[in-house]
């Protein structure tokens, strides 16, 4: 069985909001809708504000979207099964054609990651051109289920789909692809050798609100790590750390987008090294 | 002694028609508001993604409770053979049927896609407490109507001199009452379980919620039946005989129901607050010290005031006291429903800035001014929500009035 999941390394996340904006763009989210948000776990009501008093301050970011729970309250409460969990890969989806807009799922979701279309979708003034994925997408495994549409109907609930229009075409979610810090890894949780499983194991990754028993398929590597988890390069060869990262990454067939995280200088070093070999 | 106005006097048509006119006007305003909501979507309400249920669902839960009185009264009269309550049975069953129908219908303006309401039947997902609730509400409505029909036809046969057919119908009515009572209990419990089974919000997930809903349903249900008796007394629409002893009995029952309800609530609040778990406390704090403090304290004030009024035995037969206490009890239970839903929803489990996106359909100027997120939910019903809800409440009152006037709900032979 495949169980698609994600791990987010909070020790890598710098709160740049690229994932949130990339998500909004790829999924053509109207104003007021954010499937993916970057929360500041700090000291106040405003983003980027640490807790504590200088110099004893602390803060980290918590990127938050649908957790694709194994034991999903939204799926259990939906009276018409418009929200359902795909048996093939465990992705939780909403059928735009079936949702009656009762919003029971929003009341039932402990993570607050569902958005409702209270009215006709509104876009930023000036955005009068197509943005993001165009064309409706039907679930690959359940072709009667309309799980993505750029033109939002009013009165239905929507949320993160792990970019179903992309994963159904063997691409990774857009937030994973665009994360400049390589903090997100996506893959099969049921395969213990998959990178996502490895990082979850090595990084002591945790689920959000685990005490509720929802068993999310999104994991978080804790923010304050003594060592880097993706990829582990402590006690390694004589290579400089950056080079070591690249070497490790190549060995692991590392996530796309990762190369963006290192400087062009190190990239040049790597290409030189490759040329030499 | 009979209630002074339950004798075969002339109906008070001036007041009756004035009430019908005012109620119809409110229903009309509600209908216009609903049309506006259908045109523009739920954006015309003040619900947003954090407080995603508001006045409609609170009123739904309230209506379900209020509908309790009738069926519980009429079936208790049959099961426990309480003779003095029997003359009220028809009227009580009728009130139950009307209010439970209103409960089912007020879900409609809350739906984002009311055009897809039949999906509830076509794609019914039987794991969802909402489906349980729709099923049991439908059952409850059918039972109320059948019970009413059995009681009416039993009386018709009796008047026509057909004693055996009348007794036969009455036997069916008693048999049905044995089903009606547990169904009524479960209707209130299932409505509580819509919230009580959820782990997503502070202090919803408590086993006490179903018993508390049954208790508060008894409070509001009995209060409405009493209010209908009193209004009928003023208008003289049907003959309902109720003596002072029964009146005092009802008053005492109402007081006891309120006290039981308050006891359950107190137990609940103590259990929430004593351990000092921050998430649970947040909901309670919002209820009593947040923007909705007047609802939080209001519920207790109204309930205690009603108890104080009913505590004095000599006042328990006074129409004025019963009327006031009934109104207080009805509002108290309405406040309870608001307290249960709004402060809980306003306090999501994850409260970090920038908060939860408020949802699609908001205007660009609003979004660009930076109001796309809420950490703690903010909610006060919009004019449209008030109008639609008032329309439903007025509609219930109107149908009850029309029913009293035109249906054979009273006793014909004394």
Model confidence band, residue A225 (pLDDT cutoffs 50, 70, 90):
low
The rounded distance, in Å, linking the Cα atoms of A211 and A203 is 20
> Quick check: is B6 in a domain?
no
Distance of CA B302 to CAs A179, B86, B192, B317, Å? 55, 30, 22, 20
Chain B positions in Cβ-Cβ contact with residue A103 (cut-off 8 Å): 52-53, 110, 112
Q: What tens-digit pLDDT sequence spans chain B (414 residues)?
A: 334 444 456 778 899 999 999 999 999 999 999 999 999 999 999 999 999 999 999 999 999 999 988 888 888 888 888 888 888 889 999 999 999 999 999 999 999 999 999 999 999 999 999 999 999 999 999 999 999 999 999 989 998 999 999 999 989 999 999 999 999 999 999 999 999 999 998 889 999 999 999 999 999 999 999 999 999 988 988 888 788 999 999 999 999 999 999 999 999 999 989 999 887 888 788 889 999 999 999 999 999 999 999 999 999 999 999 999 999 999 999 999 999 999 999 999 999 999 999 999 998 888 888 889 999 999 999 999 999 999 999 999 999 999 999 998 887 543
Residue of B nearest to A122 (CA): B361
Judge: A119–B116 Cβ closer than 8 Å, yes or no.
Answer: no
The rounded distance, in Å, linking the Cα atoms of B73 and B246 is 12
Which structure tokens are listed for B67?
Answer: 């509908």
Domain count, chain B: 1
> Quick check: is B2 in a domain?
no
End-to-end CA distance of chain B: 13
Question: Residue B388, by phi and psi: left (phi above 0), alpha (psi -120 to 50) or beta?
Answer: alpha
| ipTM (interface predicted TM) | 0.93
The rounded distance, in Å, linking the Cα atoms of A244 and A26 is 33
Q: Are B200 and A109 in contact (CB under 8 A)?
A: yes
The rounded distance, in Å, linking the Cα atoms of A269 and B84 is 96
CATH 3.30.70.20, chain A: domain bounds: 4-224
The rounded distance, in Å, linking the Cα atoms of B413 and B155 is 9
Give the H/E segment covering residue B296. Answer: helix B293-311
Chain A positions in Cβ-Cβ contact with residue B52 (cut-off 8 Å): 103, 106-107, 116
Judge: B359–A32 Cβ closer than 8 Å, yes or no.
Answer: yes
More confident residue, A172 or A275: A172
Judge: A118–B361 Cβ closer than 8 Å, yes or no.
Answer: yes
The rounded distance, in Å, linking the Cα atoms of B32 and B41 is 14
Judge: A33–B359 Cβ closer than 8 Å, yes or no.
Answer: yes
Say what the pLDDT of residue A254 is. Answer: 52
The rounded distance, in Å, linking the Cα atoms of A28 and A151 is 8
Q: Pairing state of beta strands A4-9 and A218-221? A: parallel
Chain A positions in Cβ-Cβ contact with residue B114 (cut-off 8 Å): 100
Which structure tokens are listed for A247?
Answer: 């070497």
- Closest-CA distance of chain A to residue B371, Å: 8
If you count them, how many residues does chain B have? 414
Give the H/E segment covering residue A202. Answer: helix A195-202
Say what the pLDDT of residue B269 is. Answer: 92
Cβ-proximal residues to B241 (8 Å cutoff; 6+ apart), any chain: B2, B3, B6, B87, B411, B414
DSSP assignment letter at A157: E
Give the burial string for A146-183 (b: 16+ CB within 10 Å, else e): bbbbbebbbbbbbbbbbbbbbbbeeebbbbbbbbebbb
Judge: B117–A100 Cβ closer than 8 Å, yes or no.
Answer: yes
Of B48, B199, B367, the CB nearest to A110: B199
> Quick check: is B306 in a domain?
yes
Angle at A94 between CA A92 and CA A100, to 5 degrees: 140
Is the CATH number of domain A4-224 1.25.40.420? Answer: no
Give the H/E segment covering residue B390. Answer: helix B383-406
Q: Which CATH number characterizes residue B68's domain?
A: 1.20.1630.10
Q: How far is CA A72 from the centre of its chain?
A: 17
State the residue range of the domain holding B174.
Answer: 13-406
> Quick check: is B1 in a domain?
no
- Closest-CA distance of chain B to residue A1, Å: 24
Say what the pLDDT of residue A55 is. Answer: 83
> Quick check: is B169 in a domain?
yes
Mean predicted lDDT score pLDDT of chain A: 85
- Closest-CA distance of chain B to residue A64, Å: 10
The rounded distance, in Å, linking the Cα atoms of B162 and A53 is 88
- Residue B387 neighbours by CB distance under 10 Å: 20
Evaluated on CA atoms B21, B23, B24, B29, the torsion sign reads: positive
> Quick check: is B165 in a domain?
yes
> Quick check: is B371 in a domain?
yes
Cβ-proximal residues to B304 (8 Å cutoff; 6+ apart), any chain: B262
The rounded distance, in Å, linking the Cα atoms of A73 and B349 is 14
Asked if the model's pLDDT at residue A250 lies above 80, the reply is no
Beta-ladder partners of A148: A137
What is the per-residue pLDDT across A169-190, written as a single tens digit (0 to 9) for each? 999 999 999 999 899 999 999 9
Peptide bond between residue A48 and the one before it cis (omega within 30 degrees of 0):
no
- Closest-CA distance of chain B to residue A195, Å: 28
Which structure tokens are listed for B97?
Answer: 């049927």
The rounded distance, in Å, linking the Cα atoms of A213 and A207 is 10
> Quick check: is B414 in a domain?
no
The rounded distance, in Å, linking the Cα atoms of A216 and B258 is 42
């Amino acid at each position: 069985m495949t169980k698609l999941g994600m791990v987010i390394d909070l020790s890598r996340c710098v709160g740049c909001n690229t994932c949130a904006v990339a998500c909004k763009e790829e999924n053509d989210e109207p104003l007021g809708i954010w499937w993916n948000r970057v929360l500041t776990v700090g000291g106040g009501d405003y983003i980027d504000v640490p807790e504590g008093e200088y110099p004893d301050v602390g803060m980290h970011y918590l990127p938050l979207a649908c957790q694709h729970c194994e034991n999903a309250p939204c799926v259990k409460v939906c009276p018409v099964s418009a929200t359902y969990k795909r048996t093939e890969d465990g992705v939780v989806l909403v059928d735009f054609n079936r949702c009656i807009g009762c919003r029971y799922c929003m009341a039932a979701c402990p993570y607050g990651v569902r958005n409702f279309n209270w009215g006709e979708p509104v876009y930023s003034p000036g955005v009068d051109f197509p943005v993001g994925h165009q064309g409706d997408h039907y679930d690959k495994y359940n072709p009667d289920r309309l799980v993505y549409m750029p033109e939002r109907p009013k009165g239905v609930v929507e949320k993160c789909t792990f970019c179903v229009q992309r994963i159904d075409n063997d691409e990774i979610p857009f937030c994973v692809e665009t994360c400049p810090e390589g903090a997100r890894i996506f893959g099969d949780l049921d395969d213990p050798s998959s990178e996502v499983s490895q990082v979850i194991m090595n990084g002591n990754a945790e689920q959000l609100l685990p005490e509720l028993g929802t068993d999310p398929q999104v994991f978080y590597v804790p923010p304050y790590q003594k060592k880097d988890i993706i990829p582990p390069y402590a006690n390694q060869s004589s290579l400089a750390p950056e080079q070591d990262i690249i070497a490790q990454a190549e060995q692991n067939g590392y996530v796309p987008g990762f190369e963006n995280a290192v400087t062009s200088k190190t990239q040049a070093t790597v290409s030189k090294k490759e040329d030499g070999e | 002694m009979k209630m002074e106005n339950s004798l075969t006097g002339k109906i008070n048509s001036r007041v009756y028609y004035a009430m019908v006119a005012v109620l119809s006007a409110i229903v009309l305003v509600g209908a216009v508001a609903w049309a506006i909501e259908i045109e523009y979507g739920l954006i015309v309400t003040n619900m947003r993604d954090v407080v995603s249920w508001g006045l409609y669902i609170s009123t739904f839960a309230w209506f379900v409770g209020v509908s309790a009185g009738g069926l519980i009264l009429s079936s208790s009269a049959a099961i426990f053979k309480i003779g003095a309550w029997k003359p009220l049975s028809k009227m009580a069953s009728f009130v139950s049927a009307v209010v439970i129908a209103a409960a089912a219908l007020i879900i409609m303006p809350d739906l984002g896609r009311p055009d897809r309401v039949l999906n509830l039947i076509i794609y019914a997902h039987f794991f969802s407490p909402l489906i349980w609730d729709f099923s049991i509400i439908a059952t409850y409505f059918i039972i109320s109507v059948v019970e009413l029909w059995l009681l009416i036809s039993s009386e018709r046969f009796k008047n026509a001199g057909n004693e055996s057919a009348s007794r036969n119908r009455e036997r069916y009515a008693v048999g049905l009452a044995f089903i009606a009572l547990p169904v009524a209990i479960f209707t209130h419990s299932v409505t509580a379980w819509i919230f009580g089974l959820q782990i997503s919000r502070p202090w919803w997930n408590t086993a006490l919620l179903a018993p508390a809903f049954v208790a508060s349903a008894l409070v509001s249900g009995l209060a409405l039946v009493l209010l209908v008796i009193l209004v009928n007394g003023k208008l003289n629409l049907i003959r309902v005989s109720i003596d002072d002893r029964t009146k005092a009995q009802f008053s005492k029952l109402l007081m006891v129901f309120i006290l039981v309800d308050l006891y359950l609530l107190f137990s609940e609040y103590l259990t929430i607050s004593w351990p000092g778990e921050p998430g649970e406390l947040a909901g309670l704090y919002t209820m009593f010290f947040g923007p909705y403090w007047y609802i939080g304290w209001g519920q207790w004030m109204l309930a205690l005031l009603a108890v104080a009024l009913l505590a004095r035995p000599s006042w328990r037969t006074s129409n004025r006291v019963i009327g006031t206490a009934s109104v207080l009890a009805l509002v108290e239970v309405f406040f309870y429903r608001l307290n249960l839903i709004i402060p809980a929803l306003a306090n999501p489990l994850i409260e970090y800035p920038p908060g939860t996106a408020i949802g699609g359909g908001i205007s660009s100027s609003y979004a660009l001014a930076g109001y796309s997120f809420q950490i703690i939910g903010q909610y006060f019903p919009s004019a449209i929500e008030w109008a639609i809800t008032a329309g439903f409440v007025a509609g219930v009152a109107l149908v009850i009035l029309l029913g009293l006037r035109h249906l054979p709900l009273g006793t014909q032979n004394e």
